[in-house]
């Protein structure tokens, strides 16, 4: 969720771009059409896309996404994390819009913003918890249990939805530069784990054939390298670019 300062900046920007010379009712109509309606549209799109991902993961294609270790651990889990992120994003926008029409919703939203800003400094708490949940479900015994037991499997999928929500919660408190470097850090963690799967001589996840873990590790390492090639130059350009960031963005 955005911080109280970010929320105030949004309202200042809205005040700055409101067309001059409008009556009170014309201004309200403009605000509803040009500000609130796009927010609701984005929220509904995010929630629809997130719901579609979850339905696909639980529908006829579920077996396909669990047919190999790579599809299960990399593709399916990343899609579930993305769905959790989209759910949190969509709900946040809807609550923000609702706060414009309901004082209790506005007060509750402001309270959530303060709590998030006070206890989740720079998103560290949210990211740490997301990392712990992710690590827990990648412990061999836990992962194998989820593959073999449908109830545990559902719990694992729900946990990755929560991870996506936590990532959204933490990312809202990052500066622009921190948002740019965060995916690189996550990619390094994924690449290190992938290297372990690629080179370890032991059979880590017994629910899948041993050769599949080498394939999964290779995919993770390649994904890390692709992220490095694409994101690192972009981050360096923004960091050393000629146009400096404002104090709020840096």
Q: Read off the pLDDT band of 75 (50, 70, 90).
A: very high
Position with higher pLDDT, 106 vs 127:
127
Check residues 51 and 178 and name the one with the higher pLDDT. Answer: 51
Span 40-46, average pLDDT:
91
DSSP annotation string for 161-183: HHHHHHHHHHHTTS-HHHHHHHH
The Cα–Cα gap between 152 and 102 comes to 40
Its sign, for the CA torsion 118, 121, 159, 41, is positive
The single-letter DSSP state of residue 103 is H
Query: Using an 8 Å Cβ cutoff, are 133 and 77 in contact?
Result: no
What is the per-residue pLDDT for 30? 46
pTM of the model: 0.78
pLDDT in tens, 158-191: 999 999 999 998 888 877 777 777 888 888 899 9
Greater model confidence, 194 or 111 = 194
Predicted confidence (pLDDT) at residue 82 exceeds the cutoff of 90: yes
Spans of all domains in the chain? 4-171, 175-250
Residues 6+ apart with CB under 8 A from 25: none
> What is the rounded distance in angstroms from the CA atom of residue 166 to the CA atom of residue 80?
13
Tracing tokens 């396909």 back to the chain, one arrives at 64
């Amino acid at each position: 969720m955005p911080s109280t300062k970010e929320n105030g900046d949004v309202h200042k920007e809205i005040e700055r771009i409101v067309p001059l010379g409008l009556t009170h009712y014309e201004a309200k109509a403009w605000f509803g059409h040009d500000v609130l309606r796009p927010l609701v549209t984005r929220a509904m799109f995010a929630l629809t896309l997130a719901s579609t991902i979850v339905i696909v993961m639980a529908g006829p294609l579920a077996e396909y996404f669990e047919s190999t270790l790579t599809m299960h651990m990399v593709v399916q889990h990343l899609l579930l994390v993305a769905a959790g992120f989209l759910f949190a994003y969509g709900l946040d926008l809807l609550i923000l819009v609702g706060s414009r029409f309901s004082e209790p919703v506005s007060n509750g939203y402001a309270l959530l913003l303060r709590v998030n800003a006070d206890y989740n400094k720079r998103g560290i708490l949210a990211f740490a918890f997301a990392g712990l949940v992710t690590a827990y479900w990648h412990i061999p015994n836990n992962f194998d249990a989820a593959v073999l037991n449908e109830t545990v499997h559902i719990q694992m999928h729900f946990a990755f939805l929560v991870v996506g929500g936590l990532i959204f919660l933490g990312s809202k408190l990052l500066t622009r530069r921190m948002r740019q470097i965060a995916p690189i850090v996550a990619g390094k963690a994924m690449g290190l784990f992938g290297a372990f799967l690629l080179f370890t001589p032991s059979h880590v996840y017994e629910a899948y054939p041993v050769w599949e873990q080498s394939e999964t590790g290779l995919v993770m390492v390649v994904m890390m390298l692709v992220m490095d090639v694409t994101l690192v130059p972009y981050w360096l350009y923004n960091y050393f670019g000629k146009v400096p960031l404002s104090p709020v963005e840096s």
